[in-house]
Structure 1
Amino acid sequence: MKRRSATVFLIMIILTLIPRVFIYAEKSPDNKEKIEKAVNVFRKVLEHINEDFIEKPDDIEKCGYKIINGGMKLCPGDTHSYLVGPPEQRRVAEDFDGRFSGPGFEFNLKQTNDGRQFVIISTSTYAREAGFAIGDILVGISTAAPFSEPILFEGKLKNEATDLLRGNTGTEIAIIVKRDDVFKNIIIKRVVIEIETIFDFRKVRQHLGYIAISEFGANTTNEFNKAVSELQTLDSENSKKMKALILDLRNNRGGYLDNCLDVFGLLSNNSEVPLYLIGRNGIPEPKFSNVYNRGKYADLKIVVIVNKESASGSEILAGLLKEDGAPIIGERTFGKGSVQIYYYNLPNGVGLHLTTQKYYLTKNMLAVDGKGINPTIEIKNRELKYGEEKLPEAEDIQLQKAIEVAEELIKTK
């Protein structure tokens, strides 16, 4: 009965679109094919919602009408399920996999004398050798020889600019930059770039290390292992050995669940089930870390920093470490306690993020969704000023408090 209802519903959609095909047939003869592609995508979305969404829809036909009326809100009461178009799908997959092809520099929107512009904030050796420098303003890009008609970056969103810069490995692009009021046209081939999800690690005190994780990507576990190992070997003699670690998860919006659990597995000897997933059937499914060398860094005392933008995977890690006794410094976290499956193979290059489960921490079944993780010590930084990328370390009172707490932990046996 449900299948018949869904079929009737799709036929109704097609019938409502047919008049438009006739009206525009002479001007756009390919509209009919595009409509069929769109209907195929819509059919697949409804099938996944009907079969996999965390709550089975009472009426898939009404659900379909709500999607049409509500735009990208695929499921009532759920803000984390959404469609991804072809360009964005490629970018999302690249970001999570930790690899993409591009010119080898990072950029951000910054305030300049000429207004808000995209400015290069870091460069690889490859990009520097090609002629790029930190502080260069991105003006335009040509993606095909003879590079005579550049696309201007002005007015573009960052995602749009990213899509222009990325592409197939080995393809040439010409990028116009402005430096000290002089324009330069630099031709460069796109090369494979490794995305580092650990963007900062260092010693902040003699016995105290610091690691900041931006998200949990495919390479995060390896990056974390490497960062801790390097911090431990900076001063290997016992008198200067690292005894505590500050883990900065601020603005970390999550990522791969397995990698998040693996970082916890490296930091804890706790053998209990860290996480339970509950889907449509209501049966708790235990989720373990499969990391090699469990508890490898369990001798380190851990302090975690979070803020209101810490979400999903970072909330899992912070919550598990809190249950393990680690102090949490900062603000209550975002409160995203759900898990999404990413269907990347929908027709026409479209992807679908669909909520299929909610997670609960430890055997106590601690809920995070809508609640977040409360800090042990609540402290809030000032807001960033216009054009400011990060706080000066002396003004980062969350970090300063974390250092203070960690130093006290080091003193205790």
Structure 2
Amino acid sequence: MKTRSIKHRITNNTLIFVTLIVFTSLLPLMSHGQFLRENPRATVQKFAAMLEIINYYYVDTANSADLTEDAIVAMLKELDPHSMYLSKEDVKKANEPLQGNFEGVGIQFQLFHDTILVVAAVPGGPSDKLGILAGDKIITINGEDATGKKISNNYVMERLRGPKNSKVTVGIKRKGRKDIIDYTIVRDKIPLNSVDASFMVSDTIGYIKLTRFARTSLAEVKQALQTLRKSGMKDLILDLRNNSGGYLDVAIDLSDEFLDNDKLIVYTEGMRSPRTNYKSTSRGSFKQGRIIVMVNEGSASASEIVAGAIQDWDRGLILGRRSFGKGLVQRPFNLPDSSVVRLTTARYYTPSGRCIQKPYDNGTEDYYADLLKRFEHGEFVSADSIKFPDSIKYYTPSKRIVYGGGGIMPDVFIPIDTAANSKYYSDLFRKGLLNEYTIDYLDKH
């Protein structure tokens, strides 16, 4: 029976092969690569055929689903650094930081000597309400030992996060007590605030630190602006340092807060995505006061849209260091198994026509090594180390020169704090020795 089945497949394959010979002999002369490019179905069939061959003839067991996922990841890697694949399990994790909340117990934790250490309980969250404290050690979760080498960040999050109103019991070891304290925590929605800080730095100057462009960010900034104005704010410092971005529409709405009516904020354009302009309205609440936007090499995407619009319209000054240079638009495409491909479909351009995206011709590894190269080249300590060709010069309405080529170059350069960023300090930080010493000291005293 087995022999007949194999012989049957070989016969079918032979017929297919002969048919292909006859078919290709009728085609105009073209390369195999050209044929695949002009016939997308042929590419899909080629991939399906390869999976079939592996399933039938490979020496060991092969998982087609895993092979397909690996192939998708490798495929997207060849396109650009920001097109990406998210499995069904990863989609929710990736979206949570930008939704403005997640469901769980409300603690910040760190793994210390194979133990879950509570760094802080989120104010007003379920753990905070029960009296769980910074410095507490979680020894058990739902009666199961939660110590040792088996634990990881994923291990902890999988057990502590969960739907609202569900329960989890943790055993806490607290300094000064010999017994284990059991807490049954009712999970709830935990806010992820985008505004990290807002305060007055002088009688008339307010400061807002924005960490991400999430669904709740605009409302948080508006609330902060209102509070600061009541305190006498006339001018604003908007700190976008190390803000890696978020939603495009939130960046547009935030820019709208500061720009006069009918000003181009940003436009997007791609080979198969026609130009789309995004303009300001009359709704903004801070269109008159002076504004300074702070950026650095960790400011990307949505942060660069806001900084670029402010700079290009001479609305304010940009302070800091050249931003990251991420100006590619990703559009999510849902796949049949609920996984998602975030595919780059267009580029961002500032109002003056500058492309925010830095080059990625030399591959993903070289692309992400760019920041290290900037540091080694001296760009973080001296603006003089940055050379711009005339071809990437642009002009604002007041004839100020601004530069393209990737990222937003600030109007006023601020060097990196070398005392806090020396190689010695970086090694201590990377190895976790600073945290380890601090936690160990607090544990003993």
TM-score bracket for this pair, using the shorter chain length? 0.7 to 0.9
1:16 aligned onto 2:63: no
Distance 1:154 1:201 in 2: 40
1:368 aligned onto 2:363: no
Match of 2:188 in 1: 191
One-letter amino acid of the counterpart of residue 104, structure 2:
G
One-letter amino acid of the counterpart of residue 374, structure 1:
M
Structure 2 contact 115–147 (Cα < 8 Å) conserved:
no
Gaps of at least 5 residues in structure 2 are 1-38, 359-405, 436-445
Q: 1:381 to 1:14 in 2, by over 3 A?
A: farther
Structure 1 contact 139–154 (Cα < 8 Å) conserved:
no
Match of 2:345 in 1: 356
When structure 1 is superposed on structure 2, of 321-330 and 213-222 the one drifting more is 321-330
- Shift of residue 263 of structure 1? 0.7
One-letter amino acid of the counterpart of residue 209, structure 1:
G
Distance 1:137 1:303 in 2: 43
Q: 1:74 aligns with which of 67, 71, 76?
A: 76
1:169 aligned onto 2:171: no
Structure 1 contact 265–295 (Cα < 8 Å) conserved:
yes
Gaps of at least 5 residues in structure 1 are 25-30, 43-66, 236-240, 390-413
Distance 2:324 2:152 in 1: 25
Select the structure with the greater relative contact order (CA < 8 A; seq sep ≥ 6).
1
Q: 1:89 to 1:152 in 2, by over 3 A?
A: farther
Structure 1 contact 258–289 (Cα < 8 Å) conserved:
no
Distance 1:231 1:133 in 2: 31
Match of 1:180 in 2: 175
One-letter amino acid of the counterpart of residue 235, structure 2:
A
Other structure's SS at 1:3 match: helix
Q: 1:150 to 1:85 in 2, by over 3 A?
A: farther
Match of 2:45 in 1: 7
Structure 1 contact 254–311 (Cα < 8 Å) conserved:
yes
Matched length: 335
Structure 2 contact 73–85 (Cα < 8 Å) conserved:
no
One-letter amino acid of the counterpart of residue 6, structure 1:
V
> If you compute each CA radius of gyration, which structure gives the higher value, 1 or 2?
2
Distance 1:139 1:353 in 2: 39
Distance 1:203 1:350 in 2: 45
Q: 1:314 to 1:154 in 2, by over 3 A?
A: farther
Other structure's SS at 2:264 match: coil
Match of 2:86 in 1: 84
Match of 1:405 in 2: none
Match of 1:259 in 2: 250
Structure 1 contact 72–82 (Cα < 8 Å) conserved:
no
How far does the alpha carbon of each residue in 1:266-321 deviate from its partner, in whole angstroms, 9 at most, with x for none? 1111522221111123742212357xx52311122111111111110011111111
Distance 2:213 2:95 in 1: 13
Runs of 4+ in 1 over 6 A off after TM superposition: none
Structure 1 contact 250–307 (Cα < 8 Å) conserved:
yes
Instruction: Spell out the pairing of 1:14-413 with structure 2 (5 A cutoff).
Output: 14-19=52-57, 23-24=60-61, 35=64, 37-38=65-66, 68=71, 72=74, 74-108=76-110, 114=113, 118-125=117-124, 126-140=126-140, 142=141, 147-152=142-147, 158=153, 161-180=156-175, 183-233=180-230, 235=231, 241-281=232-272, 283-289=274-280, 294-325=283-314, 326-343=316-333, 345-362=334-351, 364-370=352-358, 371-379=406-414, 380-382=416-418, 383=420, 385=425, 386=429
One-letter amino acid of the counterpart of residue 381, structure 1:
D
One-letter amino acid of the counterpart of residue 193, structure 2:
E
How far does the alpha carbon of each residue in 1:297-353 deviate from its partner, in whole angstroms, 9 at most, with x for none? 11221111111111100111111112233111111110001111123x324442222
Structure 1 contact 73–82 (Cα < 8 Å) conserved:
no
Q: 1:263 to 1:84 in 2, by over 3 A?
A: same
RMSD: 2.9
One-letter amino acid of the counterpart of residue 328, structure 1:
I
**TM-score, normalised with respect to structure 2:** 0.68
Other structure's SS at 2:254 match: helix
Among the aligned pairs, what percent are the same residue? Answer: 27
Q: 1:347 to 1:281 in 2, by over 3 A?
A: closer
Q: 1:195 to 1:261 in 2, by over 3 A?
A: same
Other structure's SS at 1:74 match: helix
